[in-house]
């Protein structure tokens, strides 16, 4: 199952999106800053094989499209995230799309406030769906090692499988917290020139490439992560202009995650 996330920067990107989806056989795609896209044109390019799930109006930050063969239900939504149930073959996946508050206008504390709401909604959805095949994907507006990703009372995400395999639930401040696994670090590499999803060179302290677009999964799916990559080329055309994403397309690179079915 191929899952795509792309912050589109408000640009009109129907052809780029369609080429990305078709080239990578995307099953589920979540978009942020998507209001420049005319979805009727996009679906025409996709031969009307996909449909959109927009929720009930509480969230304008993300939207989801998927193949019509995938039964999808909007379960919960707030202003910055939406929770979906996606039924694929005999499995129920909890898919959460998000767009967290951005620096420099928001701090890690602002993001953690939203994250705690997301985590509580995820816990409730996992109980209702009786499934912990949970995927959280989107623009986190922070890096994999940032405090809002790592802290036990935030996303409580670990960067290495051995840690979550040894102990999935940890206790902190007399409360139990179930961990997520963050595979993104494993796929960053100078050898493959996979650096991150967004580039910033301003200010004195900079990583230049940042992995703001990320995916987290529960323990049930850690062996199901087949690949994670930031797409830099679509239909033979580069998404990079000089050293950074081409902002006429988007200032973010698309994130593609392959999850093995049946794991």
**pLDDT the model gives residue 151:** 97
Enumerate domains of the chain plus CATH numbers.
Answer: 2-259 (3.60.10.10)
pLDDT tens by residue, 38-58: 999 999 999 999 999 987 777
- Cβ proximity of 34 and 82 under 8 Å: no
For 252, the token pair is: 């973010």
3-state helix, strand, coil in the chain (%, to 5): 20, 35, 40
User: 48 in helix, strand or coil?
Assistant: coil
Distance (Å, rounded) from C-alpha 230 to C-alpha 214?
Answer: 10
Query: Average pLDDT of 21-48?
Result: 97
Strand 28-32 versus strand 2-7 pairing type: parallel
Distance (Å, rounded) from C-alpha 35 to C-alpha 5?
Answer: 15
**pLDDT the model gives residue 204:** 81
For 256, the token pair is: 């593609």
**pLDDT the model gives residue 116:** 97
Phi, psi of 180 (to 5 degrees): -110, 160
Distance (Å, rounded) from C-alpha 115 to C-alpha 98?
Answer: 10
The rounded radius of gyration (Å) of the Cα atoms in the chain is 17
Query: Average pLDDT of 192-202?
Result: 92
pTM: 0.97
- Cβ proximity of 245 and 231 under 8 Å: no
In the chain, the N- to C-terminal Cα span, in Å, equals 11
Q: Which of 67, 70, 95 is nearest to 81 (CA)?
A: 95
Least confident piece of the model among 59-63, 160-164, 213-217: 59-63
187 pLDDT band (50/70/90 cuts)? very high
* Residue 16 pLDDT exceeds 80: yes
**pLDDT the model gives residue 38:** 97
How far does Cα 67 stand from its chain's mean position? 18
Query: Average pLDDT of 113-124?
Result: 97
Query: Average pLDDT of 197-214?
Result: 91
Instruction: Calculate the alpha carbon distances from 149 to 58, 108, 188, 218, 256 in Å.
Output: 24, 10, 17, 14, 20
**pLDDT the model gives residue 59:** 86
* Residue 263 pLDDT exceeds 80: no
Q: Does 104 sit behind a cis peptide bond, omega within 30 degrees of 0 on the bond before it?
A: yes
Query: Average pLDDT of 132-156?
Result: 97
Strand order in the sheet with 157-158: 71-78, 81-88, 91-99, 134-139, 213-217, 180-181, 157-158
């Amino acid at each position: 199952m191929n899952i795509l996330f792309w912050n589109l920067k408000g640009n009109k990107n129907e052809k780029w999106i369609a080429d990305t989806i078709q080239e990578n056989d995307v099953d589920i795609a979540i978009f942020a800053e998507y209001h420049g896209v005319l979805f009727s044109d996009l679906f025409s390019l996709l031969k009307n094989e996909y449909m959109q799930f927009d929720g009930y109006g509480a969230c304008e930050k993300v939207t989801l499209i998927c193949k019509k063969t995938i039964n999808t239900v909007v379960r919960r939504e707030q202003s910055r995230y939406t929770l979906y149930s996606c039924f694929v073959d005999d499995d129920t996946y909890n898919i959460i799309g998000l767009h967290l508050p951005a620096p420099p206008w928001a701090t890690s504390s602002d993001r953690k406030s939203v994250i705690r709401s997301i985590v509580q909604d995820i816990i409730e959805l996992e109980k209702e769906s009786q499934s912990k095949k949970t995927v959280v994907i989107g623009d986190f507006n922070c890096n994999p090692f940032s405090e809002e990703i790592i802290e036990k009372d935030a996303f409580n995400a670990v960067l290495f499988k051995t840690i979550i395999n040894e102990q999935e639930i940890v206790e902190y401040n007399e409360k139990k917290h179930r961990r997520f696994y963050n595979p993104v670090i494993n796929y960053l590499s100078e050898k493959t020139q996979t650096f991150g999803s967004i580039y910033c060179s301003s200010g004195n302290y900079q990583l230049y490439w940042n992995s703001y677009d990320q995916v987290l999964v529960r323990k049930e799916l850690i062996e199901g992560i087949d690949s994670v990559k930031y797409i830099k080329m679509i239909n033979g055309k580069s998404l990079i202009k000089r050293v950074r994403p081409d902002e006429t397309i988007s200032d973010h690179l698309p994130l593609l995650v392959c999850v093995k079915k049946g794991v």
